[in-house]
Every structure is written in structure tokens, then in C-alpha cells.
Structure 1
């Protein structure tokens, strides 16, 4: 977490510099020196406010997660509460469109995932993100399915989001948001049809 007193203009500057350097050289080679040079600040500022590279990576991921959460919340606020399928689509598209699909953001996500397995604080951020996604999906799915099935289908959709996103990120052509939506909707429609027959 950045220390209190960090100028607001500096945070986005350093977050963007961190992502740009990770995109260019990867996380392991993304040194404080390279990041500070990219941001046009001294290494001392990063060390003072973030305690080094780890703290800056944590703040970068917090910003990406904040932007994702804001995108989902904004999209959902524009859709009637009883239009569950449209709201599920909004959740899906928030994970594949715009900021989240930018190359530098996607590469930072990949770096974060690899680090989160071995770092308690980053692992906690990943768990918060996962719980938030599942919570949004379950709320909407409970309007379409019984509770136990909603839980299962929410995990299925979350797995598809993660898997499609990962494959798209590793693809030189990038993430195809419309294809992702079609694949996940195909799964959802089959689940709804299956459970309606029970």
C-alpha cells in the first residue's frame, strides 16, 4: 500500500510505468531502476512510498482490480435487476473489454497470477477478486436457477472467463471479447436448458 501523502498524480504515473515495463521486459526484469526511469521519477520515491518493487506491484494490481470492479458495477447499474442474462453478459464483457484487455494490463495480470501463488498478500488480492466475481455471478444466476445449481454454474462461468482470458492473453492476436461472450453464453444456455428439464 502506498504511504499517506503520496501525490495523487504520482500513483497513476507509477502504476502505468510499472505495467509498461512489465509489458516490455517481464516482471522479473522489471527493476525499480527501469520503472523509475519510465515514470520520470527517482528510485527513492518508489522506495519511500511503496517500500520497493513488491509494494509497487501490489498497488498496480489494486488499481487494475479497482478498475475491473468499477467497470462491472457501472455496467450492472445500467441494466434492470430482473434481466439476469444481460447482467451476466455485462460481468463477462467487463473482464474482456477495454482496459482489462489492453496488452500491458493483460501482461501485468499474468505476472500477478504467477506471483500470487507464492506471495501471501498478492494471493489475498487474487482471492478477493475471485470471490467478487463469483458473488456477482451467483446473484444473477439465482434469478435463473435453484441455489445449488447457481453455485455450480457460477464456478463454471468463472473458470471459462479465466481460461478464455488466459488463452487470449497468450495469443499474439489478443483477447476476442465477442468470441468469449459467445462461448460462455453457449455454456450458460446449455446449463439453463439442462436444469429446466429436471
Structure 2
């Protein structure tokens, strides 16, 4: 029952952040959305911050799983793998309102919370490492490092601009296509 309850609370945290923002999300708002007692949050996560950390880890895990699901096909070429990395960052889950609002809150809070800063560092390094692996197959070492940094910035920048736009769904679709076009243009 513990994993089921934990996932309910993580989902409720995503929803609470979407409705109220991170600062106004409380143990009470989360427990009401989850339909569980507020004491269970302390029992499983030690409090709100522990649950926020677990929620961010959930977002990161979903990102990792989306990529693994796409690249587990054998014989993917470097360009195909790069396109899969882009797609993993723009999945319907990562574009959902609860996920986008939680990501935005997480990034802002990571400047003040060492644990969240560590998770952001891991996330950035993972994206860069995945991109660099594929670019190394296509470019010399210096160009590969530069391309990986540019592509990571483009993915994050386009994702952020899309999340903050008036019509995020359209913007997310266009952002994914522009990132893929950048890869194709760079390889040419």
C-alpha cells in the first residue's frame, strides 16, 4: 500500500502546485486533493519538503523513463537518438499543466534549497551527457561539446518559453520541431 499512497501524494502535490503554486501548497491542500489524512505526509515523507523533493524526483524519473523508452530500440543512429532526447523532454506528461508549474516552481526554489539545487544539477548534467554522447559520434570533441551545450540550452529555453506562453500546447509542438531542425541543420 505504501507505493500507492506515495504516488497518490506525489500526484496530489503536482495538482496542488498547479492550483495554488508552491508557496501556497501546504500539507492540508495536498492531503485534501489526495483524499488522505495530513499525517500520512509526515509519515511517508517527513513533511512538505520531503514530499516536494519526492515529487521533483518523480518528474526526473518520468523524463528518464521517456528517454529510455525511446532509445531502447536497437541500432539507433546518433541523429535518431538526439531526436529521441528532444522528444523525451516534450512528452505530454512534461507539457502538462501540473508538471510545467511544478518544474517552474522547482527551478525557482532550487536557487534557495540545496537539495533541490542538487537535483537540478543532476538533471542538467544528465541532459548534457546524453546529448554529448550522440554528438561525439557526429562531430569532433570540441564541436560536440559546443553542440551539446547549445542543444541543452535550446531544449530548456524552448521548454520554458512554451510553458510560459499564452498557448503552451502549440508552442511546445513548435519548440520540439525547432529543436529537431537545429540538430538537422547542425549536422549538415
**Under TM normalisation by the shorter chain, which class is it?**
over 0.9
> How many residues in Structure 1 have an aligned counterpart in Structure 2?
187
Tell me by how many angstroms 1:100 deviates.
0.9
For residues 7-32 of structure 1, the C-alpha deviation after alignment (integer angstroms, 9 at most, x for no partner) is 01101100010011110111111011
- Helix, strand or coil: the match of 1:19? helix
Change (3 A) 1:47 1:98: same
Deviations along 1:108-160, one digit per CA (max 9) or x if unpaired, are 00010011111111110111111111111111111110111101100100000
Unaligned runs of 5+ in 1: 1-5, 194-198
Q: Is the 8 A contact 2:6 2:44 kept in 1?
A: no
TM-align CA RMSD: 1.4
CA distance in 1, matches of 2:20, 2:99: 14
Quote the offset at 1:182 in angstroms: 2.5
Q: Once superposed, which parts of structure 1, at least 4 consecutive aligned residues long, lie more than 6 Å away?
A: none
Match of 1:27 in 2: 22
TM-score relative to the length of structure 1: 0.89
1:39 matched to 2:34? The reply is yes
When normalised by structure 2's length, the TM-score is 0.94
CA shift for structure 1 position 79: 5.2
Q: Which runs of 5+ in 2 are unaligned?
A: none
More helix by percentage: 2
